[in-house]
Homo-oligomer: A and B are copies of this chain.
Amino acid sequence: MNISAASKAAGLSAKTARYYADIGLVPAPARSESGYRSYDGASVRKLIFVRRAREFGFSISECRELLGLYEDRQRSSADVKRIATRRLAEIALKQKELQSLHDELAHLVDACKGDDRPDCPIIDGLGARRAG
């Protein structure tokens, strides 16, 4: 399996698959006689694993950790759960931030007439406050 087929099967671009091997996130695949990368089922499964983990917002470094656990027959599910729980908390925090952002901006947008006059609560609201 060449890199196009493999990355396509994993839902990644060839560039990204190459990149993941370059940075040592996944093992470097075998090479054909002419130097083409050659992927097997196991390598594709790892790429899928990484893609999914990235979609969940895990950083490359966390993906490295998770992939280590993915391959470790001796792993404890507690280790995995710890990482995922931390990530879950980050998501929850981001959600809260996004919510207050949304509310505040929606409030400004609501207050703005959106006509051809210059008076604009959005502009005023953006310039209003000092550091804090």
Contact = CB atoms under 8 A, between A and B. Distances in A.
Chain A contact residues: helix, strand, loop or mixed: helix
**Copy total for this chain:** 2
Nearest to A11: B131
Nearest to A104: B56
Contact of A112 (B81, B117, B119): B81
A130 B76 contact: no
Nearest to A106: B88
A25 interface: no
Interface residues of A, number: 63
Interface of A: 8-12, 45, 48-49, 51-53, 55-57, 66, 69-70, 72-78, 80-82, 84-85, 87-88, 91-92, 94-95, 98-99, 101-102, 104-106, 108-109, 112-120, 122-123, 125-132
24 contacts: A12-B131, A45-B127, A48-B127, A53-B126, A69-B123, A70-B123, A73-B118, A76-B116, A76-B117, A77-B113, A77-B115, A77-B117, A77-B118, A78-B114, A78-B116, A81-B109, A81-B114, A81-B120, A82-B114, A84-B108, A88-B102, A88-B109, A94-B98, A95-B98
